[in-house]
Amino acid sequence: MTPLQYTLLQLLADGRFHSGEQMACHAGVTRAAVWKALQGLRAYGIDMHAVSGRGYSLVNGFELLDTNAIVGAMSSATRSALHSLTLLPTVDSTNAWLMRQGEEGGTTACVAEHQTAGRGRRGRRWCSPFGSNLYLSLRCRFDEGMGRLAGLSLAVAIAVVRTLHEMDVKGVGVKWPNDIYWQERKLGGILLEIAGESAGPCSVVVGIGLNVAMPRMEGEMIDQPWTDLASIRPGLSRNQLAGRMLHHLLEVMAEFKCHGLALFEQEWREVDWLYGKPLRLLQPDGEVNGIGRGIAPDGSLLVEVSGKLQRHTFGEVSVRLQDASA
């Protein structure tokens, strides 16, 4: 998205009609440039009414992300724990962007309206159309060592669940280690990446992607069952969601640093999507079938195979339900 397109969108986000002349004057460009920029917005799935004598308005209204609204949804304690929040109209990936930033001397976050190369786990692409979903990353120092990162990724899933529960989204499950599910469909995902040195103290970038209102065309390209919040609990504000997500994320990070995964065991049990289900575990050396039996204290997956409990660590296996493609 060009800076001009983003400027016009900010103007149109009030849902009213704006004339070509008014927009040209506001942006300091010609009417022809405005017209061309508006045409280009269609490529982002943004449609406009054009009415002669009145000008242009957005067909479905639009809530653009807004840093003041996001920060305003946090508590004063979590707000002061955050060094900076950057809003990017478009970026390759919010995780990659934070990874490129140096240590700013504190916990930093960024949100984006659009990702051109959104990253999923296992090198997959994360579908990231403009203005539709939540793409949020947090970078913070992590002195506890890499060995604890697997447990951290489960705790982050609990932060997402807390946010969704607070927004009255019921029936959310977590597929180990950190896929967010709703009724057998993926609603969101989490990607942890290490910035800088991997040995000893490091910086960790926590990326959260949540489908809020996935455009139909983009959704058709996703190769697994998915859902979005618009289908479960319509009308949620992305700014409120981003602010509360950051709030819970910062709280969970602090809790995890003090108490480790043990603090989240009960909450995990309540949302464990794999518990008691017949599973297929895909490993480089073959496939194992078993029943999900929760998690071990270090966050590894417990699976009952022929009456015996096996532990499977993060990154080593890919888990599927025996009777589904998820």
Active site residue 141: no
Active site residue 54: no
Closest CA to 284 of 314, 316, 325: 316
Q: Does 139 bind ligand BTN (CB under 6 A)?
A: no
> What own/partner pairs with CB < 8 Å and gap ≥ 24 does 321-326 have?
321/274, 321/277, 321/278, 321/279, 321/280, 322/277, 322/278, 322/279, 322/280, 322/289, 323/278, 324/184, 324/225, 325/224, 325/225, 326/175, 326/181, 326/184, 326/185, 326/186, 326/224, 326/225
Out of 137, 153, 163, 203, the only residue in the binding site for ligand BTN (CB under 6 A) is: 137
* Smallest distance, ligand BTN to C-beta of residue 163, A: 15
Is the preceding peptide bond at 177 cis, omega within 30 degrees of 0? yes
Active site residue 277: no
Q: Does 209 bind ligand BTN (CB under 6 A)?
A: yes
Burial class (CB in 10 A: 0-12, 13-18, 19+), 287: exposed
Question: Which residues ranging from 73 to 112 are in contact with ligand BTN (CB under 6 A)?
Answer: 93-95
| x/- map, 36-75, ligand BTN, by CB under 6 A | ----------------------------------------
Nearer to ligand BTN, 40 or 120 (CB): 120
| x/- map, 166-185, ligand BTN, by CB under 6 A | -------------x------
The angle at the Cα of 225, spanning 222 to 227, to the nearest 5 degrees, equals 90
Nearer to ligand BTN, 66 or 179 (CB): 179
Out of 190, 192, 302, 303, the only residue in the binding site for ligand BTN (CB under 6 A) is: 190
Q: How far apart are CA 56 and CA 38, in angstroms?
A: 9
* Smallest distance, ligand BTN to C-beta of residue 102, A: 19
Question: Which residues ranging from 240 to 269 are in contact with ligand BTN (CB under 6 A)?
Answer: none
The angle at the Cα of 323, spanning 322 to 326, to the nearest 5 degrees, equals 85
Using CB under 6 A, count the residues that bind ligand BTN.
20
Q: Does 207 bind ligand BTN (CB under 6 A)?
A: yes
Catalytic residues: 121, 186, 320
